[in-house]
Chains A and B, each alone.
Chain A
Amino acid sequence: MRGAPRAGLIWSAAEYRRTPDLALVVLLLFLVCACDRAEPPPGPSPAVARAERRLYDGAPPVIPHARIGPPCISCHNQHGMEVAGLGYAPPSPHEVTAGLSAISRCEQCHVFRTTSAVFDDNGFVGLRQDLRRGGRLYDGAPPVMPHPAFMHENCRACHTGPAARAEVVCDHPERVRCPQCHVQQTTAGAFERR
């Protein structure tokens, strides 16, 4: 759980890269917290940064850092980890299996951005992330999952830890079996007796 104290405060890997000393940063952040004067650092908001990295909500994000040596999952493992000089590598939202699997080849879906130039304009407008909460039966009931769970089996990747967006952060990650209470909706229809 190294790195946890900065929960919600590291906005992007680029931002973190500008911070030279880990201990100093942690200290400063605590001071900032103590003084209750926290200002979001400059740069795109998480919502904008998130949208900027993908064509539409549901498309695989492009990789926001330069190519580095080790295999992706050595940092983007099931728990996520601090990477010296780069910041927090969030966990993979996909089910990570030991050894090979159908999704072993990260580059099959996630590509690097090697230039900021474009070949030509494109007027595509993609589905944006919907941050409305999942429907619930009554106030206090567990909300249903507002998005498909397919390829997003590791709920903790997005809902807990330093990279979790404040809007979707889970306040009870100790209850590890999420689908026990939060179910996926596979139809919009209601039961009808035939």
Chain B
Amino acid sequence: MDRRTFLKLGGAGAALLGTRATVLAEEAQQQGLSPADLRWSKAPCRFCGTGCGVEVGVRDGRVMAVRGDEKSPVNRGLLCVKGYHLPALLYGGDRLTHPQVRGADGVLKRISWDEAIGLIADRFRAVLKEHGPEAVGMYGSGQWAVFDGYAALKWFKGGLRSNNLEGNARVCMASAVTGFLSQFQSDEPMGCYEDFEKGDDFVLWGNNMAEMHPVLFSRILEHKRTDPDVRIVDIGTRRTPTTDYADLYVEIRPGTDLALANGILHLLLAENRFDLAFLSENAVYKRGIENLEEIGYGCYGAQAERYTFEDKLRDASLDEMRAFLADYTPAQVSAISGVPEAQIRALATLYGDRNRGTVSLWCMGVNQHVRGTWMNNLITDLHLVTGKISRPGANPLSLTGQPSACGTVREVGTLCNRLPADMVVTNPEHRAKAEKIWGLPAGTIPAEPGYHTLDLFRALERGDVKALWIQTTNPWVSLPNLHRYPRKPGDGRFVVVSDIYPTPTTDVADVILPAAAWVEREGCFGNTERRTQHWDKAVEPPGEAREDAWQTIQVAKRMGMGHLFPWPEDDWHRPMFEEYRQFTLGNGHDLASYDQLRATRGLQWPVVDGKETRYRYAAGFDPYVKKERGVEFYKAHGYGDRAAVILRPYQPPAEVPDEEYPMWLCTGRVLEHWHTGSMTRRIRQLHQAVPEAYVEVNRADAVALGLNPGDRVRVVSRRGKVELPIQVDGRGRPPRGSVFIPFFDESRLANLLTLDAMDSISKEPDYKKCAVRLERV
């Protein structure tokens, strides 16, 4: 058929349908609105740490659409499926809209804000009086806006005089924090998203970027389109959608990434690929405690109640490094990791090639790791020894899981040992600076760190912590080894939960507070690349829901701590942000002003004279660097303004498969669901895409067990069991002897199986490695 005939026929068809088309068009016109009929404002996406910019379309007080913000330097208009479905997260039918208290009969009853605030203030006051500041706790979130984290920090450390303040970034990003702190004495990456266009080789360490940071992965793919020489290396324990785009897939045995990284270092040194000039100018060598007996895993014996191991770094040297690396020959490393020697050599060639920019990327695979800090150190070592750091297209860049894990938990410092802008409670000068900015008497802030997250919940279970306030997080789905926390309300403890939907965590709460979400309030998030992004309130929250910071401030005021929050009730965001900003100015952590943040698509700190910094520590980019050329690690005063190359050995995971439990279990996320699914499961399109958790099983293992795809199977670990349908050759394809379960499903809890072993330094739990067996149902 020629085109003329086609056109004629098309026309005939259209004419035929003319009448009906007119009716439809009229119908649609009655309902239809053009984008121009909405009021649009900017906001960062509510979900992951990428920090995509969206424009939020509002009409008649309701969000009706979002679109990718073409002006955002992060995503340039593109979003992922979670981002496009953002607005429905506000409108789930079971939104929490009123404060509730659980009666003695276990039934929730509605109370007023005044009653709720009074009740919480009374209980916290009573616990404080009777048991001291070690018996109260607060567990916040990397999804907290900066204001929420700052209010909590000031109330806890400056008001209650307790350091039992944690954020769920502890179970998500803490190993990256301790990694950067141990090597640069300052948290957060030196690189930025521009590395995705400037780099040549992208090495993904245990990172399913295509699903977890899809828009950033898009930037790499786009770069690869324009420059076919760009290579992606996927180092992982299972094949994922990311593997489909990799030029090289390196499959490692769980936990052996430490051996692999040392193997690459061994070859780089043996083949004279170390950049010795760079090292002698910019680096020192350090070595920590390596005695396995002393370190442990935080989950056995006395460590299972309280885990307080502290690493101590001592001086080392290049010669010591040479001796240390001697054991990590390709043959040895191959025997430990299962990686063919040729692949180890290929990786060494890639990192050692001076003509190519290398970007290392990692997220939960490296961070949720019993030696996560060590692994962070080794990846950064690869960049330090080759001089591939702090320049465009050559950086170690840790990806963040939550929208403000960086901006709130890491930068504001809502962790048991931290204060804002890299400061710690154990340093008297840091405490004095905080007390001065807050106008509090010297000695107000306690010097002893509080409980880290797992110890906080263990202490709650023991009864040592008696009052706990949880905001914007769902620990009764997300904590490992959930059997340890079989909470029943009425156990003498007092648990307050602020959230937007009912969850397994609100199910065990004594008081439930309705929170305002995302654009129902004003906020700031800080993303992976040090970009602080502000958004204005766009719609009213439902019912009586209020933002977390407001809730905290009201309770503080009721407890007589109003002096901490001396700002007008209707205009406190700006003065609070400007007070917080004082912590950051002049020390390389400078945040942009509130007004500048409102006017821009976010800025990357340090922001000096209104200008952002893309590459930290780099001459020509970072205003703090006084050198003409090269780099200056100016935050590392303890190392003479140099970075530390830290020697870290391979040690095995806390639990490995044996005869009784012969398979590895890894847990994680899927593209469609945000963490514990409390928001995304209430969005029809996302729920219907992945309605329930499943267990990915290798085809050969399924055949050996006589199972077909979709059959249900019981996954059993030493701690618990869960029944799930099996998935074979799905989006993730584990090797033989290895299974994977996504953790979003509250009715099929992966965390009933996981082990609460943790990193020795960051105290971040390892959700990625434990032993299980499969049983036919």
Contact yes or no, A188 B88, CB < 8 A: no
Segment touching A, from B212-220, B362-370, B417-425, B713-721:
B212-220
Shortest distance between the CB of B254 and any CB in chain A (Å): 26
Partner of A105, one of B18, B87, B221: B221
Asked if B620 CB lies within 8 Å of chain A CBs, one says: no
Shortest distance between the CB of B569 and any CB in chain A (Å): 30
Shortest distance between the CB of B19 and any CB in chain A (Å): 10
Partner of B219, one of A45, A47, A102, A111: A102
Contact yes or no, A58 B65, CB < 8 A: yes
Contact partners of B229 in chain A: CB under 8 A:
none
Bound form: Cα–Cα A146–B564 in Å:
52
Contact yes or no, B7 A174, CB < 8 A: yes
Contact partners of A40 in chain B: CB under 8 A:
17, 20
Contact yes or no, B33 A130, CB < 8 A: yes
Asked if B91 CB lies within 8 Å of chain A CBs, one says: yes
Bound form: Cα–Cα A116–B688 in Å:
6
Partner of B691, one of A6, A117, A165, A174: A117
Contact partners of A55 in chain B: CB under 8 A:
84-85, 87-88, 683-685
Contact partners of B85 in chain A: CB under 8 A:
55, 59
Asked if B682 CB lies within 8 Å of chain A CBs, one says: yes
Bound form: Cα–Cα A124–B65 in Å:
10
- Please name the residue on chain B nearest to A67 by beta carbon: B730
Contact yes or no, A8 B17, CB < 8 A: yes
Known contacts: A56-B87, A130-B32, A146-B34. The answer to whether A107 contacts B671 by CB under 8 A is yes
Main secondary structure of the interface of A (DSSP, over half): loop
Contact partners of A4 in chain B: CB under 8 A:
1, 6, 9-10
Contact partners of A116 in chain B: CB under 8 A:
688
CB under 8 Å from chain A, chain B span 83-141: 84-85, 87-88, 90-94
Asked if A114 CB lies within 8 Å of chain B CBs, one says: yes
Bound form: Cα–Cα A149–B66 in Å:
15
Partner of A166, one of B14, B683, B690: B14
Bound form: Cα–Cα A8–B8 in Å:
13
Per-residue 0/1 for A154-181: is the Cβ within 8 Å of any B Cβ (1 yes, 0 no)? 0000001100011101010110000000
CB under 8 Å from chain B, chain A span 118-153: 118-132, 146-148, 150-151
Contact yes or no, B33 A128, CB < 8 A: yes
Per-residue 0/1 for B383-404: is the Cβ within 8 Å of any A Cβ (1 yes, 0 no)? 0000000000000000000000
Task: Identify the interface centre among A109, A110, A185: most chain B CB within 10 Å of its CB.
Answer: A109
Segment touching B, from A17-25, A73-81, A83-91, A93-101:
A93-101
Contact yes or no, B93 A120, CB < 8 A: yes
Contact yes or no, A103 B218, CB < 8 A: yes
Contact yes or no, A102 B221, CB < 8 A: yes
Known contacts: A4-B10, A8-B16, A109-B81. The answer to whether A62 contacts B688 by CB under 8 A is yes
Bound form: Cα–Cα A6–B14 in Å:
11
Contact yes or no, B14 A8, CB < 8 A: yes
Contact partners of A54 in chain B: CB under 8 A:
685
Contact partners of A60 in chain B: CB under 8 A:
81, 84
Asked if B504 CB lies within 8 Å of chain A CBs, one says: no
Contact yes or no, B28 A151, CB < 8 A: no
Asked if B672 CB lies within 8 Å of chain A CBs, one says: yes
Bound form: Cα–Cα A9–B13 in Å:
7
Bound form: Cα–Cα A119–B85 in Å:
15
Bound form: Cα–Cα A85–B245 in Å:
30
CB under 8 Å from chain A, chain B span 19-76: 20-21, 24-25, 27-29, 31-36, 38, 57, 62-68, 70
Known contacts: A8-B17, A126-B87. The answer to whether A131 contacts B29 by CB under 8 A is yes
Shortest distance between the CB of B640 and any CB in chain A (Å): 43
Bound form: Cα–Cα A123–B92 in Å:
6
Bound form: Cα–Cα A25–B450 in Å:
74
Bound form: Cα–Cα A30–B575 in Å:
73
Asked if A1 CB lies within 8 Å of chain B CBs, one says: yes
Contact yes or no, A167 B21, CB < 8 A: yes
Contact yes or no, B1 A1, CB < 8 A: yes
Bound form: Cα–Cα A66–B70 in Å:
32
Known contacts: A45-B24, A103-B78, A103-B218. The answer to whether A118 contacts B688 by CB under 8 A is yes
Contact partners of B9 in chain A: CB under 8 A:
4-5, 7
Contact partners of B13 in chain A: CB under 8 A:
6-9, 33, 166
Shortest distance between the CB of B298 and any CB in chain A (Å): 35
Contact partners of B561 in chain A: CB under 8 A:
none
Asked if B231 CB lies within 8 Å of chain A CBs, one says: no
Bound form: Cα–Cα A102–B74 in Å:
13
- Please name the residue on chain B nearest to A104 by beta carbon: B221
Contact partners of B312 in chain A: CB under 8 A:
none
In the complex, 25 of the A-B residue pairs with CB atoms within 8 angstroms, ordered by the A residue number, are A5-B9, A33-B16, A47-B27, A55-B88, A56-B65, A57-B65, A100-B224, A102-B218, A102-B221, A108-B218, A108-B671, A110-B81, A113-B688, A115-B688, A116-B688, A120-B94, A122-B91, A122-B684, A125-B62, A127-B57, A131-B29, A146-B34, A147-B35, A160-B10, A167-B21
